[in-house]
Amino acid sequence: MPDRPSRADAWALLTEFTDNSSLIKHALAVEAAMRAYARRFGENEEEFAAIGLIHDFDYQQNQTVETHLHVGTAILRERGWPEDWVRAVASHADYMGVPRDTLAAKTLFAVDELTGFLTACALVRPDRSVAEVQAASVKKKLKDKAFARSVNREDIVRGAEELGVDLAAHIEVVRDAMAAIADRLELPPQGQAPGAESQGSGPGLS
């Protein structure tokens, strides 16, 4: 394993352990959001992206708090992945007890739950377009506990706070990152009606 693994290495790891399309799309959404923030912060975009891509790579096979991330971080260490990446991945779940003491770790925590919530917000729109989801609407839906009930609202709000960004602005950054890869998330691009064929590469292709 190179000192700093590539995006291809991250994709290979993800797909070695994950073939569920929803989990892969979630990884791609988180990767896109991590890239967007890396550019805003002047950080290494490829490293942020790779961390986002692998953050839940073990989840399909390890779905309990007793195994998820415990197994994944052990695999990462056994294979020689960078320790700061391993800690960033571990830190996105509070139960792991790993402090979010790097910008990459804080960013991962901030975007993780939000990507799933934004997908849910897009899917209830007539056009299913994530690009058209408005921050005000998202904030309103966050208060509706019956909507996308599996998403942890507290993590979304706390994630923005830990990252030091306004929640509405944070929603817009993540939304725009997801809209840029809407085809890979199987969501219509801006202005495209549902059912129309989208153009672009399939999941995992950059």
Q: Sketch the domain layout of the chain as residue ranges.
A: 7-180
Residue 191, pLDDT above cutoff 90 = no
Domain 7-180 falls under CATH 1.10.287? no
Question: Would the pLDDT of 84 be above 80?
Answer: yes
Q: What is the mean pLDDT of the chain?
A: 91
Place of tokens 């706390």: 158
**206 pLDDT above the threshold of 90:** no
Residues 6 or more apart in contact with residue 102 via CB below 8 angstroms: 84, 87, 88
Q: What pLDDT, on the 0 to 100 scale, is given for residue 190?
A: 54
**pLDDT over 90 percentage in the chain:** 87
3-state secondary structure the chain: CCCCCCHHHHHHHHHHHCCCHHHHHHHHHHHHHHHHHHHHHCCCHHHHHHHHHHCCCCHHHCCCCCCCCHHHHHHHHHCCCCHHHHHHHHHCCHHHCCCCCCHHHHHHHHHHHHHHHHHHHHHCCCCCCHHHCCHHHHHHHHCCCCCCCCCCHHHHHHHHHHHCCCHHHHHHHHHHHHHHCCCCCCCCCCCCCCCCCCCCCCCCCC
Above 50 in pLDDT, residue 197? Answer: no
The pLDDT assigned to 3 comes to: 81
pLDDT digits (tens, 9 = 90+) for 59-79: 999 999 999 999 999 999 999
- Please report the pLDDT score of residue 1 as a whole number: 65
pLDDT greater than 50 at residue 201 = no
- Statement: residue 198 has pLDDT above 50: no
Question: In the predicted model, is pLDDT for residue 33 greater than 80?
Answer: yes
pLDDT confidence tier of residue 188, bands split at 50, 70 and 90 = confident
